[in-house]
Amino acid sequence: EVQLVESGGGLVQPGGSLRLSCAASGFTFSSYWMSWVRQAPGRGLEWVANIKHDGSEIYYLDSVKGRFTVSRDNAKNSLYLQMNSLSAEDTAVYYCASLYGGFDPWGQGTLVTVSS
């Protein structure tokens, strides 16, 4: 069964940092582009970042460029999102997803709350 499981979310103060992880199983992780997508409470979906299967290409949403870093470890079947200089606008459920036609499948998400 294809599965993506995010972890690492939580409450963080403005200006703080958090590292999200996404553990993949049930498919050849190293063959797929991977993405992070977020959803603010009660709001729509927002693409955050993409990383190519070998990490050689990375794309970011402008509002997170310079603050967020996406990376992957194909040996560990894992995707990461390092988030620095967090602000209230970054409060959201963060989903990882593989790219196959579209974002497919998705993890269950991990909630990041930025608040003092």
Partner 1 sequence: EIVLTHSPATLSLSPGERATLSCRASQSVSSYLAWYQQKPGQAPRLIIYDASNRATGIPARFSGSGSGTDFTLTISSLEPEDFAVYYCQQRSNWPWTFGQGTKVEIK
Residues near partner 1, by CB under 8 A: 44-47, 50, 59, 61-62, 95, 101-109
Q: Which is nearer to partner 1, 78 or 99 (CB)?
A: 99
Q: Which is nearer to partner 1, 71 or 99 (CB)?
A: 99
Nearest approach, Cβ of residue 13 and partner 1 (Å): 27
Q: What gap in Å lies between CA 50 and CA 70, rounded to an integer? A: 8
Q: Which is nearer to partner 1, 16 or 111 (CB)?
A: 111
Question: Is the CA virtual torsion 27, 29, 32, 36 positive or negative?
Answer: positive
- List of long-range contacts for 74-78, beta carbons under 8 Å, 24+ apart: 74/29, 74/30, 77/23, 77/24, 77/25, 77/29, 77/30, 78/21, 78/22, 78/23, 78/24, 78/29
Q: Which is nearer to partner 1, 73 or 104 (CB)?
A: 104
Nearest approach, Cβ of residue 16 and partner 1 (Å): 25
Nearest approach, Cβ of residue 116 and partner 1 (Å): 27
Nearest approach, Cβ of residue 46 and partner 1 (Å): 7
Q: What gap in Å lies between CA 98 and CA 100, rounded to an integer? A: 6
